[in-house]
């Protein structure tokens, strides 16, 4: 079974999610993929609103590991390096 993920306007297919272990897992994966643009935008906005020029504020509040993971997730979503 495959679930199809459609763009917000319903006119463009985003992707088809291949079979998962269960139908519930397939549907959850499809919902996650469909929400990815909004999740990326929210993370980017969060990073900007809590950051200063050096990134030190974010790192003091959330820790270097968390900030680096957020930066890596943004880069990965945009097709860049996520190491």
Q: Convert the pLDDT of each residue in 54-65 to its tens digit.
A: 667 778 888 888
Tell me the pLDDT of the chain (83 aa) as tens digits: 556 777 777 777 776 666 667 888 878 888 888 889 999 999 999 888 877 666 677 788 888 888 889 889 999 999 887 55
Q: What angle do CA 60, 63, 65 make, to 5 degrees?
A: 150
- Proportion of the chain above pLDDT 90, given as a percent: 18
Domain coordinates in residue numbering, the chain: 1-36, 51-83
Q: What angle do CA 72, 73, 75 make, to 5 degrees?
A: 65
Q: What is the pTM of this model?
A: 0.67
């Amino acid at each position: 079974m495959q679930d199809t993920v459609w763009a917000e306007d319903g006119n463009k297919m985003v992707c088809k999610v291949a079979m998962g272990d269960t139908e519930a897992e397939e549907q959850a994966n499809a919902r996650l993929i469909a929400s990815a643009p909004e999740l990326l935008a929210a993370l980017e906005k969060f990073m900007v609103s809590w950051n200063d020029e050096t990134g030190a504020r974010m790192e003091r509040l959330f820790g270097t590991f968390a900030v680096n993971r957020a930066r890596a997730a943004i880069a990965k979503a945009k097709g860049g390096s996520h190491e």
